[in-house]
Structure 1
Amino acid sequence: MHDPAPRLPFPDATASDGSPAPHPLLAPVLGYLGTWTGRGSGGYPTLDEEFTYAQEVTFSHDGRPFLAYEARAWLIGPDGQPVRPSARESGWWRLQPDGRVEALITQPTGIAELCTGHVRDGAADLTTHQVALAPTAKPVDATRRRYTLTEGDHLSFVHDLAAVGRPLQHHLSAELRRATAGLRV
């Protein structure tokens, strides 16, 4: 008979709170760790009208040289209350020694983006390297995402989109505030 499965998670914590220490390559993005919430607005030429949305973005890590990324959004009605879920994404930001970022971002609508970019002075700028689409997904050709940390635990988000035959143009922007700090996946 063999030993039972080991207890998980494996003990590799080095931080005083029991979470793993951040990998040194995460230094340029340590300020992003945690959960961010706020509101934004969006639109696109193929939509009937502009819209307001609430957003929650979480960045976490498990001690390896990448961030786990998750974003959720809800459409907001004229009364300021959520109407229904909107976008949802998850993925990974892989940090490179020279400050470059390779990001994989997937959406349940059948879109997977491979983005590349850099992080400098609290600002991450990611542009499309490649887009993979499920057979029934909306045609997306390119995106550009900018995340900017500002004073007082604010995170600005701007998303440009080239889709359904349209050129790259503004799609979304939001102002988020830190809701929680976070250090692990």
Structure 2
Amino acid sequence: MIEIPSDLHPDVVSLAFLLGTWEGAGVHDFPGSEKCNFGQEIVFRHDGRPFLEFRSRTWVLNAEGDKVRPLENEHGFWRVTTNQRGTSGEREVELSLVRDDGTVEIWYGKLADGKPQIELATDAVARVEGSAPYSGGKRLYGFVEEQLLWVGEKQAPEVPLRPYMSAQLKKVLNPAQLVKDVNDLPDDGIAFFR
């Protein structure tokens, strides 16, 4: 079930399915870098303004599923706006993103009709001198059976666009909400079981 917080800005209600903390694992595979399984934590939050804040941390996992070392971190802001670049006047998703390797990206995409799914593609990429070669990508995020699934494609000057990361994430329960839910139970606690 998708909950829409009462203080969520109306411009980002269509992104409400992303809100929360998500954890899970995935696979990373791109030429020139280590092929590995990774763990991931993604946090989508809002503060009442017309965007969602996004943080993603990934780390390499060993065969036992233990954290070995950081893989990559991202921080960004998701917005829903009217398409100003074309003449259609459609609503589109914008993502401004910075990675820990010194890459800055601007992404644009669309929400799928009638389902919680977003497809994005890079519009601009800037890199510091020491970052890995990278020239663009695509991403697909979807809320499927109470899970957040995503797949990323990447291209570099010597590598055509190809899948490089994907993950399956589950929402982490918020202890503050659990306490609130317990406090909303009848005083005797027995009514819950009737």
Q: TM-score, normalised by structure 2?
A: 0.79
Aligned partner letter, 1:93: W
User: In structure 1, how many angstroms separate the alpha carbons of the residues matched to 2:99 and 2:33?
Assistant: 19
The aligned residue for residue 142 of structure 1 is 136
Number of corresponding residues: 162
Answering whether residue 154 of structure 2 is matched by residue 161 of structure 1, we say yes
The aligned residue for residue 40 of structure 1 is 26
Q: Is residue 138–residue 164 contact of structure 1 (8 Å, CA) maintained in 2?
A: no
The aligned residue for residue 165 of structure 2 is 172
User: In structure 2, how many angstroms separate the alpha carbons of the residues matched to 1:77 and 1:99?
Assistant: 42
User: In structure 1, how many angstroms separate the alpha carbons of the residues matched to 2:31 and 2:99?
Assistant: 21
User: In structure 2, how many angstroms separate the alpha carbons of the residues matched to 1:164 and 1:20?
Assistant: 45
**More helix as a share of residues:** 2
CA offset digits 1:84-128 (Å, max 9, x no partner): 111100010111154311111101101001000012220011100
Aligned partner letter, 2:33: L
Residue 29 of structure 1: which of 2, 9, 15 is its match? 15
Q: Is residue 115–residue 128 contact of structure 1 (8 Å, CA) maintained in 2?
A: yes
User: In structure 1, how many angstroms separate the alpha carbons of the residues matched to 2:79 and 2:162?
Assistant: 26
Structure 1 unaligned segments of length 5 or more: list them. 1-18
SS in 2 for 1:28: helix
**Which residues in structure 2 correspond to 1:35-74 (within 5 Å)?**
35-47=21-33, 50-74=35-59
Structure 2 unaligned segments of length 5 or more: list them. 83-89, 175-194
Root-mean-square deviation over aligned CA pairs: 1.8
Residue 77 of structure 2: which of 71, 92, 95 is its match? 92
Q: Is residue 34–residue 60 contact of structure 1 (8 Å, CA) maintained in 2?
A: yes
Aligned partner letter, 1:22: L
User: How big is the shift at 1:79?
Assistant: 1.8
SS in 2 for 1:27: helix
User: In structure 2, how many angstroms separate the alpha carbons of the residues matched to 1:154 and 1:99?
Assistant: 25
Aligned partner letter, 1:113: E
User: How big is the shift at 1:46?
Assistant: 1.9
User: In structure 1, how many angstroms separate the alpha carbons of the residues matched to 2:143 and 2:65?
Assistant: 25
SS in 2 for 1:65: coil
Return the index of the structure with the highest Cα Rg: 2
